[in-house]
Structure 1
Amino acid sequence: MIEGYDLLDENDHSGLADTLSQQFRFTTVPTSYTKLKQYGFDLVHYNETELLPRIRNPRFWKGQIRKRSKELLAELERCIGLVSSRRAKYCGDLTHKRFKESELKTAEFLERHFIQSLDGERISLKEISEHNISNKKILFYEWITRVKGFDELAERHGHSSMMVTLTCPAYMHATHSRSGQLNKNYRGQSVRECQKYLNTVWRRIRAKLKRDDITIYGMRVVEPHHDGTPHWHLMLHCNSQHTSEIKRIIRHYGLQDSPNEKGAKERRVDFIDIDRSRGSSAAYLAKYLAKNMTGIEGKGEGCRRVSRHAADCARAWASAHNIRQFQQFGGASVTVYRELRRLRDNTFDSDIEPARQAADASDWATYCEAVGGVGVSNRTQTIKPYYEQSESFERSTGEIIQPGQPENQNRYGEAKSKVVKGLEVAGKVRKTRTQLWTIVASPPQSDVSPPARAGCIGTGGLGLV
């Protein structure tokens, strides 16, 4: 509760947003940070110039309140034992219900809104979302492509592969897995704090590997235990001669906290060496990707049946706690890969064409080699994303505000952030997004439906797969 308002009651959000924006209208920056901390809003990542116009804006507060209320509800359910193997796995029933309601509202919004180009072409947002990574099936296929590509890279270069599982200490778990009873040793850590712990462990591992000049690449999946406590699965590829040292480093940092607690050495850090005669690394990781995206209705190699409901609960958990479930480490930029796929025709440019053809064929391994090889990073690869401030469209006057003009601002009076506009290679820029689109809230006032775009593929700045 904040001054008579209930964070868990969505009907109170608008009123609370107005109240907070008025309350912070004349506060100083130090007082604002103190009050924000008191109210449980973590906004320290904004500097003084960025903070003040935001906390005086009701629209900003409504988004913060919605985000905080989701997390608060999920934490309450977890702390009182409503999230467990015996009650509701991954997230509580109310969290899951609100997540599904949010999905329905999003679907309704997409159905009622369109993007329109300056020449009058309209495309449904729903149609767009069905053909890009907003569609969880398409996102799953892209991740499988990347996982398989890394596996092929490792095989080409004779590298070793291993599955690593990192788990939080026992005192961070709210309930016991078998009985579902509250854990008497639980110290009240939130999911966010558990995720921060795992991130810290991983940063220390990466820093040590960098100091020792050991290169790794692969994928990470974050998923919840039965009680919502996060744990990580990493598919890691490396030079075979570094395997033992990497395991030692991971085990060292993974067991720095409470190394002598019961079961720590057996459960907190686990390794599975990939034997390619029995299956690829993609087969190992596919289960975890599917479990957290689409569910697994049948049985496959290394997989057990996981219902779509369980996958929905995992996604609801990630949404409530603002968890980034899937992340790549090492390897080439996926942004460049997606932009290359927007170039449908031969570029006749030897610096771009090999990578474009590999991306167009969904060949992640060849794409990585075309832009720099196994050890390539976003900073060292030969093709980089090109960022530029977008044009703005003033609806009231019809004026187009060009990039760099002082009037090209967001609602907080700041210059609009730069966005991906194309690719940069060898000092040359190749634009992949050339049209200006604006969102309209309703379809044309006629019986004619907006023109569909076959496959939703083009160069008009939609960011489609």
Structure 2
Amino acid sequence: MSNKLPETKPLTQFSSVNVNTPLSVKVENSVNVTNNENLVNEVQGSTHEVDYLTLSGFESTALSSTALSANLLVDEFNVDDKLNKTFIGKQLLSIPFNCRVVAKNTYNRLLKLPVKGAFQANTYLRALCDFCEAMPVDVTWSDSQIELVGKTQASQCHQICINMLNLDDSKEAVVFALEAVLVGFSIKARKGKYIDGDIARYVYDKWWRKKLSKLHSVSVERVSQYVHLVSKKSQIYVTDTNFKKGRENKRRNQLFMAELELINERGEVVDLTEMANSTNANPVNRRNELMARLYGFEVYADKHGYVADFLTITCPSRMHPVHNSGRPNEKFDSTSPKQANQYLGSQFAKCRAHLARLNVDYFGFRVAEPHHDATPHWHILVFVKPEQRQVLRDTFSFYALQVDGDETGAQKYRFTVEPILKSKGSAVGYIAKYISKNIDGFGVDKDNYGNPADIAALRVNEWSSLWGIRQFQQFGGPPVSLWREARRLALKEEVNISSVWVAADSGNWCEFMEALGGVNVKRKDLPVQLVKEFIETEGEYWEPIGYVIKGLSCGGEVYVSREHTWTKRRKENESSLALDENEV
């Protein structure tokens, strides 16, 4: 692989995120509230440790069950003296339940070392406890405790808001004070368009519960990676805890949707579940659309003289907690999968910027999927002009190896190129299995590690949802929103949009691109544009719903693809009609 770019200009090295920045469950420069009634005092430049289980007079029996679980496990540690058992019991209280057995097994193995075994075992347990306590939330919280803390924080923010507004403070000052409360949980301030919307979120327990639940799941997953629990030897892609939690949330959502229906201004009623299954939320629809677009790209490439390469880019070894063999990686620097994916995105952006400076003509698709230890890697199907093929390869090779490119095995494993040869198969055939096994496993027997593809796909989906990683992304070509809206439109007599609609309705992505001017037309120059309408109606958080897509415009004409306004309501039955409880 080439380590040089087809240009001599100096290029900035990637600056990695500091993944070891300690996070603490503390409130800095915040406001302390006692019994959720009176604003006691505003603390400037100080730090308060908060006991969220007893704040505002609440108590939780979950704390005693946590201690009971830890005390029972202490007896399985191979130590006899009371001092060590007390130390171990105290450390276990900070470790999530799914990691305690792993911690126990590792401790007992270290204890058998001939040199300073007890010292190394205790050091390991202390370091693990410190890592857990550095998470933004308590990793031993249960769902009920998360809900309790969410209500407490919302109540605290509400009281701060009331007190400041009663003192005629500005809304900007109120938001600044409420954002200080977020610091204790490392929650990023929203900074929305409407200040009322920001305040409404910060004082609403539902918003806090969602944020804290997400933080808790991510924190548990990071601790699990720290103890090497996520791997093909144990729990692949994602921990069983978060996999079951994600599946349960989806099951509850389906049950909730089953109780709802949609009604429009004409009185037409549609089952909400049926409506959802007709969209890309349905894995079958999602896979079919991706395959249609991929096939259209390949047909367009063949028609216009492009060749195809299949690229794979992998993260540096320090971002992998576990080796491919299943052994722990001593180089692991606690990089999370999300941070690793951001690194890949950063390097990809550098590639695209450099190729744009060289006027390289290319387009394609990329797929993000996890290694067995949850660290992402990217597969990229790229179509490029033959005379620019080597320039593209050298550019991707340079940036893929820009960070730690001299480490052992980097030249062989960190970046690979496979030319697509028609004699061996189509370009779509190369990437089809990666799309299928990352959606629903359709047509694939097993994943790369011998697991049933359908089960593996479920775990990959939960991995993507947990870490907020976008699995599929098109680069080059028109936006898919135009395609979807064109497919919504009924066939009209106006010829200035019919070619675009007919191509979309027939599922022909190649003709659709050609009708819009080709793969390289800039969005602002597309003959067809999205039409959006601003909705003034307030949503859940005291702010306008904002811009929503209404249709397409072409040649000065507007074609409405969404004619109806739908409202959710509970399904009609005799009891709900009698009690007038249909509205959600």
**Common fold by TM > 0.5:** yes
For residues 433 and 444 of structure 1, the distance between their equivalents in structure 2, rounded to whole angstroms, comes to 29
State how 1:221-300 maps to structure 2 within 5 Å. 221-296=367-442, 298=444
CA distance in 2, matches of 1:72, 1:43: 19
Report the secondary structure of 1:416's partner residue.
Answer: strand
Q: Is the CA contact 1:112–1:443 (under 8 Å) kept in the aligned structure 2? A: no
The 3-state SS of whatever aligns with 2:458 is helix
Within the alignment, does 1:387 sit opposite 2:549 as a pair? no
Find 1:68's aligned residue among 215, 229, 232: 215
Q: Greater CA deviation, 323-332 or 16-25? A: 16-25
Query: Contact (CA 8 Å) 2:551, 2:561: kept in 1 or not?
Result: yes
Label 1:171 to 1:437 Cα distance change in 2 as closer, same or farther (>3 A): same
Q: Larger RCO: Structure 1 or Structure 2 (Cα < 8 Å, ≥ 6 residues apart)? A: 1
Aligned to 2:473: 327
Q: Distance in 2 between matches of 1:37 and 1:236?
A: 42
5+ unaligned residues in a row in structure 1: which ranges? 391-403, 448-465
Offset at 1:365?
Answer: 0.5
1:21 aligned to which of 129, 149, 154: 154
- Cα deviation 1:221-255 (Å, max 9, x = unaligned): 11100000011111111122111111111111111
Residue 208 of structure 1: aligned partner: 354
Return the letter of the residue paired with 1:371: L
Letter in 1 for 2:182: L
Give the TM-score normalised by structure 1. 0.86
Does 2:561 correspond to 1:429?
no
Question: In the alignment, residue 18 of structure 1 is paired with which amino acid?
Answer: K
2:550 partner SS: strand
In structure 1, the residue corresponding to 2:251 is in which secondary structure?
helix
Alignment of structure 1 residues 46-445 onto 2, 5 Å: 46=192, 49=195, 51-178=198-325, 180-296=326-442, 298=444, 306-345=452-491, 347-390=492-535, 404=536, 408-445=537-574
Aligned-partner residue type, residue 152 of structure 2: T
Q: How far off its partner does 1:152 sit? A: 0.7
**Cα distance in 2 for residues equivalent to 1:142 and 1:47:** 33
Unaligned runs of 5+ in 2: 1-24, 26-49, 54-137, 162-172, 577-584
Higher radius of gyration, 1 or 2: 2
Note the C-alpha offset of 1:311.
0.4
**CA distance in structure 1 between the aligned counterparts of 2:226 and 2:259, rounded to whole angstroms:** 39
TM-score of the two chains, using structure 2 as the length reference? 0.69
61-70 vs 367-376, which moves further: 61-70
Give, in whole Å, the separation in 1 of the partners of 2:327 and 2:180. Answer: 37
Q: How many aligned residue pairs are there?
A: 429
- Distance across 2 between alignment mates of 1:61 and 1:89: 30
Q: How far does residue 324 in structure 1 lie from its aligned partner after superposition?
A: 1.0
Residue in 2 that maps onto 1:395:
none
Cα distance, 1:43 vs structure 2: 3.2
CA distance in structure 2 between the aligned counterparts of 1:71 and 1:351, rounded to whole angstroms: 50
CA contact (8 A) 1:297 1:306 kept: no
Q: Structure 1: which amino acid aligns with 2:282?
A: N
Q: Residues 296 and 306 of structure 1 are in contact (CA less than 8 Å); yes or no, is this contact kept in structure 2? A: no
For the residues of structure 2 that align with 1:446 and 1:365, how far apart are their CA atoms?
53
C-alpha contact (below 8 Å) 1:330/1:377 kept by paired residues: no
SS at match of 2:503: helix
Secondary structure of the 1:418 match is strand
Report SS of the residue matched to 1:24: helix
Secondary structure of 2:524's match? coil
CA offset digits 1:193-216 (Å, max 9, x no partner): 111111111111111111222232
User: Which amino acid counterpart does residue 490 of structure 2 have in structure 1?
Assistant: R
| Amino acid in structure 1 at the alignment position of 2:52 | G
The more displaced of 225-234 and 117-126 is 117-126
Change (3 A) 1:298 1:305: farther
